[in-house]
């Protein structure tokens, strides 16, 4: 399977006249089509809602596109809660899924009416002392431990994860929460990351549905929603078959009818909180080749670095690369594609077979729409790039400007560093 960029060389050449590389570019048409497909895939469940994982792409322009499809926001910090609140998402459309949570964040979540998803048994008392009550609607994150196995082998190891209640804690926690006044309960679990298979959600749903039935029968709690969280991945490599969200939705529907409906729980809403699946394929990092180095290996130096996309350096993650204008050329050159950080892992590709790259060529690094810009940082004094939206009509909108040296120095309150500084080139 070939990965095709959603932007052409001619379009990029026009864009860079206004916005120099590197920059993150998002595809509005793709985002909308995917959001619509997700909504349709779970239309069988009247209460369904996708709570987009804000951490993946925390940009108000993106959030407002998703809002048109009744998506909510899954937030993990006060700043993300503030972003969601500022864009007009009401409490029912905000899920607060945090861990090791400071008291002030719980207070703010309660203030805006967000649904609080507790990560730990001890947070029951902590939350009550912090906000003076237990909300009527509350959710708990479940971690059954052990390993999560699928037909293609072990996918992940929940037992090593820092998140969630054990099975025993979940049942005791629901009992305590009910005694303290909670009336509507949610169950949340995230047991595997970036699964490229249509069976993950249905398998997870079966496990959670069975637990939900037991909680209803043994504790007498009203389970109002079950949050399948994230974990539905994307095909970063061209040889992978992408997930089919409609097949996934029908798989969840099947186990819903098999387990929840016979137990008299056919009113349970299904929630998801996908970040990667919602956005990753609809964003790319555009960068330009500026140096080539011939030593023990062949290197191509680009004007982006791990500051702009951390995943390859941090995880060794694969991101496909297209050399614009050479999409159909033979990939007969082996390169390491590198950035300029003082770190040897600052590489977007290692021993990657690509067409011959000439200085000035534009490279599209695919699937950066989630956990791309958002994981950026300022090591080596590097500045974060702009974010652009390729709109459906072909025009381009700046949705976050690039950082400047003034931004970098702004937090040095006791120094006026810029006063005696010469103007930088960029």
Residues 284/202, Cβ–Cβ less than 8 Å: no
Question: How many independent structural domains does the chain possess?
Answer: 2
Residue 14 lies in a domain: no
Backbone angles phi, psi at 322, to 5 degrees: -115, 130
22-45 exposure pattern, b = at least 16 Cβ within 10 A, e = fewer: bbbbbbbebbbebbeebbebbeeb
pLDDT computed for residue 276 by the predictor: 97
Residues whose CB is less than 8 angstroms from the CB of residue 79 and which lie 6 or more positions away in sequence, other chains included = none
Q: 232 forms bridges with which residues in the sheet?
A: 195
Residue at which a domain ends, from 257, 280, 303: 280
pLDDT computed for residue 103 by the predictor: 98
200 and 228 belong to one structural domain: yes
Report in angstroms the alpha-carbon separations of 245 from 43, 94, 188, 237.
12, 23, 20, 18
Asked whether residue 116 carries a pLDDT value surpassing 70, the answer given is yes
Asked whether residue 154 carries a pLDDT value surpassing 60, the answer given is no
Q: Please count the CA atoms within 13 angstroms of the CA of 421 that sit on its side-chain side.
A: 11
- pLDDT band at residue 419 under the 50/70/90 scheme: low
186 and 243 belong to one structural domain: yes
pLDDT (tens digit per residue) in 228-281: 999 999 999 999 999 999 999 999 999 999 999 999 999 999 999 999 999 999
Residue 362 lies in a domain: yes
263 and 290 belong to one structural domain: no
Q: Which of 140, 221, 284, 342 is catalytic?
A: 342
159 and 106 belong to one structural domain: yes
Region for 9 from its dihedrals, namely left if φ exceeds 0, alpha if ψ lies in -120 to 50, beta otherwise? alpha
What's the gap between Cα 236 and its chain centre? 14
- pLDDT band at residue 70 under the 50/70/90 scheme: very high
- pLDDT band at residue 422 under the 50/70/90 scheme: low
91 and 170 belong to one structural domain: yes
- pLDDT band at residue 155 under the 50/70/90 scheme: low
Residues whose CB is less than 8 angstroms from the CB of residue 4 and which lie 6 or more positions away in sequence, other chains included = 322, 327
Q: What is the CATH number of the domain that holds 401?
A: 2.40.37.10
| Cα–Cα distance, 69 to 34 (Å, whole number) | 10
Neighbours of 47 (CB within 10 A): 12
- For 285, the token pair is 């990092």
Residue 86 lies in a domain: yes
Reference 103, options 125, 74, 121, 86; nearest CA is: 125
| Cα–Cα distance, 250 to 256 (Å, whole number) | 10
pLDDT (tens digit per residue) in 35-67: 999 999 999 999 999 999 999 999 999 999 999
Determine the Cα angle at 109 with ends 107 and 110, to 5°. Answer: 65
Residue 2 lies in a domain: no
Chain mean pLDDT for the chain: 95
Residue at which a domain ends, from 280, 307, 341: 280
- For 365, the token pair is 């690094």
pLDDT (tens digit per residue) in 187-238: 999 988 899 999 999 999 999 999 999 999 999 999 999 999 999 999 999 9
Residues 291/340, Cβ–Cβ less than 8 Å: no
Q: What is the CATH number of the domain that holds 71?
A: 3.20.20.10
145 and 55 belong to one structural domain: yes
222 and 362 belong to one structural domain: no
Instruction: Give the torsion sign (CA, 152, 119, 367, 31).
Output: positive
Give me the domain span that covers residue 188: 28-280
Residues 71/62, Cβ–Cβ less than 8 Å: no
Residue 13 lies in a domain: no
264 and 304 belong to one structural domain: no
Range list of β-strands (E), 229-282: 269-272
| Cα–Cα distance, 101 to 129 (Å, whole number) | 13
92 and 224 belong to one structural domain: yes
Residue at which a domain ends, from 253, 280, 307: 280
Residue 39 lies in a domain: yes
pTM over 0.85: yes
| Cα–Cα distance, 308 to 139 (Å, whole number) | 35
Secondary structure of 8-23 in HEC code, one letter for each residue = CHHHHHHHCCCCCCCE
Asked whether residue 426 carries a pLDDT value surpassing 60, the answer given is no
122 and 260 belong to one structural domain: yes
Q: What is the DSSP letter of 58?
A: -
Q: Is 342 a catalytic residue?
A: yes
Helix count and strand count (H, E) for the chain: 12, 19
238 and 367 belong to one structural domain: no
| Cα–Cα distance, 292 to 338 (Å, whole number) | 10
Residue 16 lies in a domain: no
Longest dimension (CA), the chain: 74
pLDDT computed for residue 3 by the predictor: 92
196 and 329 belong to one structural domain: no
Asked whether residue 152 carries a pLDDT value surpassing 70, the answer given is no
Residue 425 lies in a domain: no
């Amino acid at each position: 399977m070939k990965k095709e960029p959603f932007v052409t060389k001619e379009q990029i050449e026009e864009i860079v006249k206004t916005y120099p590389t590197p920059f993150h570019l998002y595809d509005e048409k793709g985002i909308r089509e995917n959001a619509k497909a997700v909504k349709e895939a779970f239309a069988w469940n009247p209460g369904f809602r996708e709570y987009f994982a804000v951490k993946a792409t925390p940009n108000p322009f993106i959030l407002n596109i998703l809002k048109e499809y009744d998506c909510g926001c899954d937030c993990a910090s006060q700043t993300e809660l503030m972003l969601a609140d500022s864009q007009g998402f009401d409490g029912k459309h905000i899920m607060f899924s945090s861990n090791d949570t400071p008291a002030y964040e719980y207070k703010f979540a309660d203030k805006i009416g967000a649904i609080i998803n507790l990560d730990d048994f001890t947070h029951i008392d902590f939350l009550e002392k912090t906000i003076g009550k237990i909300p009527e609607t509350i959710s708990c994150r479940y971690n059954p431990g052990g390993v999560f196995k699928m037909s293609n082998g072990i996918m992940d190891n929940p037992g090593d994860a820092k998140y969630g209640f054990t099975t025993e804690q979940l049942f005791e926690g629901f009992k305590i929460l009910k005694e303290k006044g909670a009336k509507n309960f949610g169950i949340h679990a995230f047991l595997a990351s970036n699964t490229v298979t249509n069976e993950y959600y249905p398998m997870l749903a079966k496990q959670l549905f069975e637990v939900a039935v037991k909680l209803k029968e043994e504790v007498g709690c009203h389970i109002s929603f079950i949050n399948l969280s994230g974990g539905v991945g994307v095909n970063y490599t061209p040889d992978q078959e992408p997930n089919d969200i409609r097949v996934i939705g029908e798989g969840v529907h099947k186990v819903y009818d098999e387990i929840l409906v016979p137990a008299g729980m056919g009113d349970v809403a299904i929630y998801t909180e996908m970040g990667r699946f919602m956005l990753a394929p609809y964003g790319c990092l555009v960068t330009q080749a500026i140096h080539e180095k011939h030593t023990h290996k062949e290197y191509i130096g680009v004007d982006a670095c791990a500051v702009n996309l951390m995943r390859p350096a941090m995880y060794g993650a694969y991101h496909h690369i297209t050399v614009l204008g050479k999409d159909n050329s033979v990939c007969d050159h082996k390169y390491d594609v590198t950035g300029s950080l003082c770190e040897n892992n600052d590489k977007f590709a290692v021993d990657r077979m690509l067409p011959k790259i000439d200085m000035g060529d534009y490279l599209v690094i695919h699937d950066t729409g989630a956990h791309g810009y958002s994981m950026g940082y300022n090591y080596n004094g590097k500045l974060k790039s702009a974010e652009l939206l390729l709109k459906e009509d072909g025009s381009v909108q700046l949705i976050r400007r690039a950082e400047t040296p003034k931004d970098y120095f702004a937090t040095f309150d006791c120094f006026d560093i810029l006063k005696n500084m010469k103007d930088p080139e960029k």
